[in-house]
Chain A
Amino acid sequence: MAEIKWPEKRRLIGTKVPRLDGPDKATGRARYSQDINRPGMLHALILRSPYAHCRIKSLDLSQAQKAPGVRAIVTVGQVNYTAGRKEGKPGWEFPVSVTDVGRELFYHGDEILAIAADTEEHARDALRLVKIEYEQLPFIVKEETALQKRLGPSTVPGKDASNVLAGGSRTEGDPDGAKKAAEVLVKGTYGVPVITHCCLETHGLVAEWESPKSLTIWCTTQAVPGTAGQLQGFLAGHGITCSVRCITHHMGGGYGSKFGPDIQGQLAAVLALVAKAPVKLFLDRDEEHLAAGNRPSATATVTIGGSRNGTISVFEAASYGTPGVGRAAGVNIGILPYVYEVRNVRISTDIVRLNHGAARAMRAPAHPQNCFITECAVDDFANAAGLDPMEVRLKNLPQNDPAAVTKIPTSFPALRNTIYTDEIRIAAELSQWKKKWHPPGKGPTKGPWKHGIGMALHTWGGAGRADNDVFVTISSDGSVLVQCSTQDLGTGERTVLAIVVAEALGLDPKDLTVVIGESQIGRSTGSGGSTTAPGTAPAALVAAINARDELFRKVAPKLGLKPDDLVLEPNKITDKASGKTFTWRQFCARLGVDTVRGQGNWIPGLSNLGVGGVQVAEVWVDTETGVVRLDKIVAVQDCGMVINKLACESQVAGGVIMGINLAMFEEMIVDEQTGRMVNPDFEFYKLGGMLDMPEIIVHMHDMPERGVIGIGEPPTISTAAAIGNAICNALGVRVPRTPFSPDRVLAALHARK
């Protein structure tokens, strides 16, 4: 088989193709998991800990069990109770006195049990009838408190003696010597708070047992086969051998928080089994904020120094962040300082564990935090040196790696300096940087309003992965079915597959039927790390070419032609030998009762990894009220070969908007007295609306020679840092923490006086 490459001339790839499911989604016809209603379906709800840390002293379900409409109650203790295997019984056949009494709960929102009833209203009533006595235990919900009590007893799960874990450290070169030698040395503290994913479709699923051996779930997940597998494993742990099928045709956001069935998936599966009826269990909005994941905070005290001409010679950062009761850090010390090349480095991070919900991966894990910490410091360094921060950025970019240039010229190390330099130039032009940048605090004013402009850079991987199967089936009526078990988080993945297959077969993407989000189709990997398009697009190309070749092999003999003489062009097939042409339909009709099926998996050479990205923010700040008004954001982004320019631009603008939310609005606020999150809603947990949005200019820096690279994560990384730098440029003073709310802006102005 000849080597498979992307076509030299691309008819569809890189153009703007409206997503295939656009009309269905815009008119509510697309069925999300939360929209699935099954005959005889029950509604389930979860009872959660009202306290930040407590122990269940007693649990009485008798009244709840008798409540109208209640069909099943299952506790978290029961689903976690695998010791019962020895007695040949699943955990939920043991009494709660064995499984739950004495169990410790570690945060406001920690799961206790779930109730399934005939209506949601009845399930809600029954939750109130559960009688629980709690023993309240000490808790810590503020990072600074935990850091002060470093050696204090742990209030979080696990056997650690302390709530503060060492997250690692790294030293390179001679930071102390470099600090002494530095002509310009600046110290600052920068931070971002815990924010939550806010998936609009909350976590949850519908679970239905067709037989004791077969479970179907309609689950909102960004890992369709993975979620089915995890649930199967959980059930096997209780001695139940069955197949689990997961269906996710559409999903309402994931952003890194939906990689498995979670506890609600386990509870729903067991409730459905016990009640012998389908069960729908989706979290309410407050539960989503409390228990469905969040992005760790990060705070760093940074010392940055270098020469007056702008070369950075030393970067030190002592940092910490909290994953709540989780264990993953918010700062990645491996990629700090972020993007830039600095010789002398000293980095450390502490993981501060608190009594709130566990962190999960969230769109570019650790990168927005690392970017904010680094890019704020770089601007403060440039300001102290009296230099244009864009010039400082250009000066400190990593060089193209000479070895990579020779060996793998399309790799990121071979291109990084070129990519950033090009993108900074483009961003500077689109934002009129040269004209608009001014020394901090010295820009144009309109009454109390001051103008500012700021820049930040980012990077991401976005590689393709193996284990993604795509199947292309061609029928005698000319129809084409494309199947992959993968999921569409909103990225337009369904349309990515259609574009690639249509390109290869000379068809219109609209003429294809694409079925995704069904675990039984085959293998696919979870949508994490911006890997879905680079993992599946190559597989789709291989599958389409295999299907085409198989079509030629089957039909050519029937026409007295040789497969090798056939050439596929848009909507026609030509025999080079005779010059005879067939339309796609005429040709496929010769299949008769036969069909052809091509299978493809990811192969190397069609995708790549490593992207840059530059963003510029322009703001006006009211020095009397502290209000920040965003004027314009420019985002220049590469992702190798753009497949769908329309969806790509939307991803970048959407990433910018998520970055705007981080910069301006979002913060999980936990009350230190009660240990409860005080804003688990959309009234006091703010997300920007239409009127908060500036003009957003997106420029796709298309590099088709590099192959496909993921786009989901990178564009959200640097927005908050760019806005922070723009505010600093406006005021001449740093607002060190997001969200940049009026009180924080005024506090920073006040601190200067």
Chain B
Amino acid sequence: MSETHPPPGKPGISRRQFLTGTGLGAAATTLLQTSEARTQASKVQAPKTVGFGPNAVACELVVNGARISVQIEPRVTLLDCLRHYMDITGPKRVCDRGTCGACTVLLDGRPIYACTMLALEAQGKKIETPESLYQDGQLHRVPAAFAQYDAQQCGFCTPGFVMAMKGCFDRNPNATPDEVEQCLAGNICRCGTYQQMRDALRSLCKKGG
């Protein structure tokens, strides 16, 4: 599971800053039900605190080498930012709760669940999505193996598995099949293509990743 947790280190915004900014941390705000009310609340708080939102703020992400700027509310997850605001739809929204791995992207080279990180936290980091593995007609060897061994059916989980496997080989080019399978333990496939994924990953292990 460690493969899919957010990387260690300090995120760009502290939890405290975020909660203060969105008003979720303040007891009084439980009484304030509307967005307008929260807007008022943040105006009141603004002089005292450093925070973001609740209205949209600028967010710049580096995705597959490109800098992309959007206006998003601070509560928007990295996954929703990619899919809804940047039209980068390779990472899929399946469970939205960090259990299925369909939204896996690489953040500074480590696989993470994009549904469990705020977009603002991903600023300044290198984000790789599945789309980066098929550029200028060049297909990366991991998705190529998925295609060759038919390690996908409906394919909705596949980009997540591909990124988890790529992250595994990036860190350990000599990973054994068992080690690669461990790296895929945080992903779920409903069609049941695990047997074909085994064929694919074994072919890559033989080649030394």
Contacts and interface: CB of A to CB of B under 8 A. Distances in A.
B91 interface: yes
B150 A128 contact: no
Given A202-B94, A653-B196, 15 more contacts: A23-B147, A25-B158, A27-B130, A28-B130, A67-B34, A67-B35, A121-B76, A200-B189, A200-B190, A251-B154, A490-B155, A655-B192, A657-B189, A657-B194, A689-B187
Contacts of B157: 200
Contact of B155 (A30, A68, A658, A693): A30
A422 interface: no
A200 B160 CA distance: 12
A691 B192 contact: no
B113 to A, nearest CB: 12
A35 B162 CA distance: 18
A25 B134 CA distance: 11
Contacts of A29: 90, 131, 134
A125 B54 CA distance: 12
Interface stretch (A337-345, A567-575, A680-688): A680-688
B42 interface: no
Contacts of A24: 134
A85 interface: no
B155 A250 contact: yes
A657 B192 contact: yes
B202 interface: no
Contact of A198 (B89, B131, B190): B190
A490 B153 contact: yes
A690 B4 CA distance: 15
A129 interface: yes
Contacts of A491: 153
A605 interface: no
B191 A490 contact: yes
B184 interface: yes
Contacts of A201: 92, 94, 154, 156
A44 to B, nearest CB: 13
Contact of B150 (A199, A284, A647): A647
Contacts of A28: 89-92, 129-131, 159
B102 A26 contact: no
Give the residue among B73, B94, B148, B187 with the most A Cβ atoms within 10 A: B94
Among B75, B87, B143, B184, find the residue whose CB has the most chain A CB atoms closer than 10 A: B143
B112 interface: no
Given A250-B155, A490-B191, A689-B187, A35 B89 contact: yes
Interface string A26-42: 11111110110100000
Interface in A569-595: none
A121 B100 contact: no
A492 B187 CA distance: 22
A28 B100 CA distance: 16
B33 to A, nearest CB: 7
Given A28-B131, A121-B76, A681 B99 contact: yes
A526 interface: no
A25 B197 contact: no
A43 interface: yes
B46 interface: no
A37 B73 CA distance: 19
B185 interface: yes
Nearest to A488: B154
Contacts of B189: 200, 657
B83 interface: yes
Interface in B149-202: 149-159, 162, 181-182, 184-197
B97 A681 contact: yes
B187 to A, nearest CB: 7
Contacts of B184: 689-690
Interface string A643-684: 000110111011111101100000000000000000001110
Nearest to B133: A27
B187 A690 contact: yes
Contact of A27 (B80, B90, B95, B188): B90
Contacts of A647: 150
A252 B192 contact: no
Interface of A: 18-19, 21-32, 34-35, 37, 43, 63, 67-68, 119-122, 125, 128-129, 198-202, 250-253, 255, 284-285, 489-492, 646-647, 649-651, 653-658, 660-661, 681-683, 687, 689-691, 693, 696, 698
B205 interface: no
9 contacts: A21-B155, A23-B143, A29-B131, A29-B134, A31-B89, A650-B153, A681-B97, A682-B188, A696-B195
A658 B89 CA distance: 27
Contacts of B80: 120
Given A43-B84, A200-B102, A687 B190 contact: yes
Contacts of A35: 83, 89
A724 to B, nearest CB: 19
A660 B192 CA distance: 10
B36 interface: yes
A185 to B, nearest CB: 38
B84 A253 contact: no
B93 interface: yes
B139 interface: yes
Interface in B54-95: 73, 75-76, 80, 83-84, 87, 89-95
A67 B37 CA distance: 11
A129 B34 contact: yes
Contacts of B100: 200, 682
B73 A682 contact: no
B190 A253 contact: yes
B179 to A, nearest CB: 12
Contacts of B133: 26-27
Contacts of A656: 192
A616 to B, nearest CB: 16
A95 B196 CA distance: 54
B146 interface: yes
A600 B75 CA distance: 53
B41 interface: no
A512 B87 CA distance: 29
A661 B192 CA distance: 10
Nearest to A250: B155
A696 B193 CA distance: 11
Contacts of A691: 181-182, 185
B84 A18 contact: no
B75 A121 contact: yes
Contact of A653 (B83, B140, B186, B195): B195
B144 interface: yes
A646 B200 CA distance: 13
Contacts of A660: 192
B159 A26 contact: yes
A18 B150 contact: yes
B154 A23 contact: no
B89 A681 contact: no
A128 B35 CA distance: 11
B89 A25 contact: no
B73 A121 contact: yes
B121 interface: no
Q: What 6 pairs across the A-B complex have the smallest Cβ distances? A: A28-B90, A657-B192, A22-B147, A252-B156, A490-B154, A490-B153
Contacts of A681: 95, 97, 99
A25 B188 contact: no
Contact of A22 (B76, B152, B188, B194): B152
Nearest to A36: B89
B131 A32 contact: no
A725 B14 CA distance: 54
B75 to A, nearest CB: 6
Of listed B84, B94, B153, residue having the most chain A CB within 10 A: B153
Contact of B96 (A22, A31, A284, A651): A284
B130 A18 contact: no
Contacts of B196: 650, 653
Nearest to B157: A200
